[in-house]
């Protein structure tokens, strides 16, 4: 398991993108998010920032859950698919 805590310190909303799923979540100013990856192996977490978006990339076989202000908005262990392998 690998957890990542985020806070939007900007005075404007920031989009949190989960890739390769393409899921997007909006973080308002001062909102917090916890992104937790579950996997049998831990690999390097890749994060990109564009100023108005944070792009978080999962790795092959990982499941991910997301909380925004302590409210679970994505449950990676219930009905979600892991990151597929890349050919």
The residue ranges of every structural domain in the chain are 2-74
The per-residue pLDDT for 31 is: 98
pLDDT tens-digit readout, 31-86:
999 999 988 887 888 999 998 999 999 888 888 999 999 999 998 877 666 766 66
User: What span, in angstroms and rounded, lies between the C-alpha atoms of 62 and 32?
Assistant: 22
Q: State if pTM tops 0.75.
A: yes
Residue 87, SS3? Answer: coil
pLDDT tens-digit readout, 4-15:
999 999 999 999
């Amino acid at each position: 398991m690998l957890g990542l805590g985020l806070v939007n310190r900007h005075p404007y909303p920031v989009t949190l993108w989960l890739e390769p799923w393409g899921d997007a979540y909006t973080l308002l100013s001062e909102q917090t998010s916890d992104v937790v990856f579950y996997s049998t192996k831990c690999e390097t977490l890749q994060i990109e920032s564009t100023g108005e978006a944070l792009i978080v990339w999962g790795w092959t076989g990982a499941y991910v859950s997301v909380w925004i202000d302590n409210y679970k908005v994505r449950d990676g262990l219930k009905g979600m698919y892991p990151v597929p392998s890349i050919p």
